[in-house]
Amino acid sequence: MLSRFDDYPIHQTPEPIAHPATTDRNVYDRYWFNGYSADGAYYFGIALGLYPARGVMDCAFSLVRAGQQTSFHASRRVPADRDELQVGPFRIEVIEPMRKLRVTLAPNETKLSCNLLFEPTTACIEEDRQVLRREKRVFMDVTRFTQFGCWSGEIRCGDDRIDVLRENSFATRDRSWGVRPVGEPETGGAPAKAAPQIFFLWAPMHWDDTCTHVGFFEDSSGRQWHGEGKIAPRYTRAELIPGVEDPALQRMTGAAHKLVYAPGTRRAKSGEIFMMDATGERTAIAFEPLLTFRMKGLGYGHPQWRHGLWKGELAIEGEQWACDALDPLAPDNIHIQQLVRARMGDKTGVGIVEQLCLGPHAPSGFTAMLDGAK
């Protein structure tokens, strides 16, 4: 199948652009954003995923405000052209690659809408490739870049309007592609020898003149199979950013964490993140949460809106819940992001700590699939 992009010299395989290089049905290509104010008055998340082997494109917009989380979900048949980033009333427009993107959600039956412009405050930060094999198969093989920025525009939720101002909004965006579990779980064959286990912590944070980015994957013993830390210069205007990547980016040689969990949950109530440089000097970041965002609002682990599910030619749905009324150990509530206030030496900052911990994790004291902290 040909598409408009086949007229550009961008091919990486002998196939047309619409044909993935891998035959894995879980191949994906994804946009993800968040946005928030430093005082915790609001937090929102945005996602759009393309699953070419499944024939699905889906998206979501989710907002936490005043103790309520409200979400818009939509899904459609995958379009022929990769620049058609639209699902019903939801659209992402790449105005200038790596520099300026617009997200719009037109008024719809869910009563959640937005018109938001993303502008960067850092160059793009490529994370180390993340490859995990389970049961002799590739479970995840992902390339990802992260970019810090700010938003301007507005959000409407029912009769309420939020003015999102460039000078007091913070943003992180994440572009990833490759293979990871999406859609319906596979069936048939021999049962897995071990129950699923994952520990993931991802912590992008904004400071006055820098941004820090730390991420971990660990096994049940606490051994890191992926761990990295980076410090990036932060710019006041996009035109000052030196390029797609920044030669001044500092890649640390090691990273670690120490979490204090809220009892009866798998959610940090405080913690420290450490980065080590080539000389062995250690930088410590302490954080305290301001609010919690459930990632199921963007489809992560959602029982009905899991990524890549076929919902028909076009499906749209909204939902809302009180944040404090949710069971913190229910499977669909485990994956979270927390807006945090942070300290690094004499600097104060704001950022996100994302957590997903299923199954045993010895450093945290977890021994079962979903036991909580004591």
Residue 219 has pLDDT above 80, yes or no: yes
Give yes or no for residue 1 having a pLDDT over 90. Answer: no
Task: Characterize 101-130 residue by residue with b for buried, 16 or more Cβ atoms within 10 angstroms of its Cβ, and e for exposed.
Answer: bebbbeeeebebbbebbbbbbbbbbebeeb
* pLDDT higher than 90, residue 196: no
Cα separation, 133 vs 131, whole angstroms: 7
C-alpha dist (Å) from residue 280 to 99, 229, 289: 35, 13, 29
- The Cα 93–Cα 87 span in angstroms is 12
For the chain, the average pLDDT equals 95
Q: Is residue 129 pLDDT above 80, yes or no?
A: yes
Over the stretch 52-64, which tens digit does the pLDDT of each residue have? 999 999 999 999 9
**pLDDT above 80 (res 180):** yes
Tokens of 363: 């450093």
Domain residue ranges of the chain, discontinuous segments joined by + = 4-183+195-364
The pair of three-digit structure tokens given for residue 181, joined into one six-digit string: 């579990």
Amino acid at 327: D
The pLDDT of 167-187, averaged and rounded, is: 91
Q: How far is the C-alpha of 52 from the C-alpha of 19, rounded, in Å?
A: 8
Q: What are phi and psi of 22, to 5 degrees?
A: -100, 150
Q: What is the mean pLDDT of residues 76-91?
A: 95
pLDDT over threshold 80, residue 20: yes
Per-residue pLDDT, averaged over 223-245, amounts to 95
Q: For residue 163, what are its two tokens?
A: 């003015």
Contact indicator for 288, 270 with CB cutoff of 8 Å: yes
**How many percent of the chain have pLDDT more than 70?**
100
Q: Rounded to an integer, what distance in angstroms lies between the CA atom of residue 121 and that of residue 39?
A: 20
299: pLDDT confidence band, cut at 50, 70 and 90? very high
Task: Tell me how long the chain is.
Answer: 374
**Average pLDDT in the 332-341 region?**
98
CATH class of 4-183+195-364: mainly beta
Ramachandran angles phi, psi of 333, nearest 5°: -110, 0
CB 121 within 8 A of CB 204: no
